[in-house]
Amino acid sequence: MEDHNFEHLLRSADLRVTRPRLAVLRAVRRQPHADTGSVLAAVRTEEPTVSHQAVYDVLGALTDSGLVRRIQPAGSVARYELRVGDNHHHAVCRSCGVVADVDCAVGVRPCLHASETNGFVIDEAEVTYWGMCPQCASAPDPSTVRSN
């Protein structure tokens, strides 16, 4: 997405276009599923004086307005991505924590039709697949490596 579109995106969400907001959107575009620390580091390469709190506030505003999706796998810090509105799932590596997008097996807005809703109006289903990423799965297990 071009910066021009980011400006349009912000305006369409009634958010003022600011340099920190644009920098955060660029950072999340470059690094999907980035955590707050990674976003802050990326933003500071463009805006060296921006504070942690400012980036935190921007992420909150972008998330509240639906421009950015916040995910938080169990045991992980919050992570952010620009891919919103499709309720896609995530695969998380148990070893290194890397996160990958997983499209649903059954189609659009997946898994929102719960078999039993107990009267709840369901608007989101969160599915996390846990396992090993390709790098970790192919790395030798240190516990089986002989020391001599």
Under the binding rule (CB under 5 A), the answer on residue 96 touching Zn ion is yes
Residue 47 CB-density burial (10 A; 0-12 exposed, 13-18 middle, 19+ buried): middle
Under the binding rule (CB under 5 A), the answer on residue 136 touching Zn ion is yes
Under the binding rule (CB under 5 A), the answer on residue 133 touching Zn ion is yes
Under the binding rule (CB under 5 A), the answer on residue 93 touching Zn ion is yes
Which of 39-47, 53-61, 122-130, 134-142 is the region at the interface with Zn ion (rule: CB under 5 A)? Answer: 134-142
Q: How far apart are CA 131 and CA 114, in angstroms?
A: 24
Cβ closer to Zn ion: 116 or 123? 123
Under the binding rule (CB under 5 A), the answer on residue 61 touching Zn ion is no
Nearest to 66 by CA among 48, 46, 88, 81: 81
Binder among 22, 81, 89, 92 for Zn ion (CB under 5 A): 81
Cβ closer to Zn ion: 50 or 98? 98
Which of 8-16, 21-29, 77-85, 112-120 is the region at the interface with Zn ion (rule: CB under 5 A)? Answer: 77-85
Measured from the CB of residue 58, what is the shortest distance to Zn ion in angstroms? 19
Q: Which residues contact 101 (CB under 8 A, 6 or more apart)?
A: 32, 81, 83, 88, 89, 90, 91
Backbone angles phi, psi at 92, to 5 degrees: -120, 135
H or E stretch at 28: helix 19-30
Under the binding rule (CB under 5 A), the answer on residue 125 touching Zn ion is no
